[in-house]
Chain A
């Protein structure tokens, strides 16, 4: 295996039914890391997708080599499982549906070096961060929910429900031990616990390109579970 530099980045990609997007994400990741000379590995963790995502992942492993990309069957939580196999010092968590563009990862790394941050969080709400593909209603819900979160939790980060982040490996391991929620609330809990434990958080504006929103509107159920999660965090942290 090639020598691992101290700046190696492990990208954890949990997937479900991403047969079409997975090759594109991987191609973009490989190109981004190649262009910026960053040592990397990509760990694909597929949760038994019925659409053939696993076969695609295995083809990609053959094309790019299994020291750069490998595929895991899930066992327990995708992140915890993936982390056991990650050899990098930094772990990037991102969505595999192309809403997160790998081009921001070198910026995360630059930011991390700049402030020696434990976590670098991509934010859609600050600087020239933003979203593509959301209508007014969706934006209103997003900003409203974020405002409520800021008032109640005062988290010290502008985007709590975002899931495009870079963590130091030890930091992610520590946080995964402590966090118990799921979905949006899980992402929020990570940041809140990180602050509790005294970890430092840097932010990088990112663009979030939502190509899925048209098919899956934000439902009442998700809003209710978000509120429940928010109130739980409010009362327990």
Chain B
């Protein structure tokens, strides 16, 4: 019978490598990187959390592992909301830049008129 540890071993080496190729020409696409990362983590989780009775890790560990993907998703969701919220709140309002621009526009119009531009 096919056990989960054996399935893990059957994964190609490239997707188990944690560092990805660095040279500009040979880099994986971001999608491929994500799929590899998810496959890696997913298979590790499946191997441990869904193992048949003979190969199960101790009960407390299994209890923590089973809902882990959902926890991580929720945690990422919270992180995203907090980060975007913080960045919106601290988004600089360039009042002085706008005021300065108005001044410059006035000066520019006057000068251009003098130089003969028909506005």
A86 to chain B, nearest CB (A): 24
Number of A-B contacts (CB under 8 A): 92
B3 CB-CB contact with A under 8 Å: no
B117 contacts across to A, CB distance below 8 A:
23, 56, 59-60, 63
Query: How many Å from the CB of B77 to the closest CB on chain A?
Result: 12
Query: Interface size bucket, A side?
Result: 35 or more
Q: Interface SS of chain B: helix, strand, loop or mixed?
A: helix
Q: Do B116 and A147 have beta carbons less than 8 Å apart?
A: no
Question: Is there an interface contact between A63 and B116, defined as CB atoms closer than 8 Å?
Answer: yes
A sample of 28 inter-chain contacts (CB < 8 A) reads: A24-B104, A24-B109, A27-B108, A27-B112, A28-B104, A28-B108, A59-B117, A60-B117, A63-B116, A98-B101, A98-B105, A101-B101, A125-B87, A125-B91, A130-B92, A130-B97, A131-B91, A131-B94, A132-B95, A140-B88, A142-B91, A147-B84, A147-B87, A198-B24, A207-B97, A234-B30, A235-B30, A237-B29
Interface on A for B, CB 8 Å cutoff?
20, 23-24, 27-28, 56, 59-60, 63, 98, 101, 125, 128-134, 136, 139-140, 142-144, 146-147, 151-154, 196-198, 207-209, 233-237
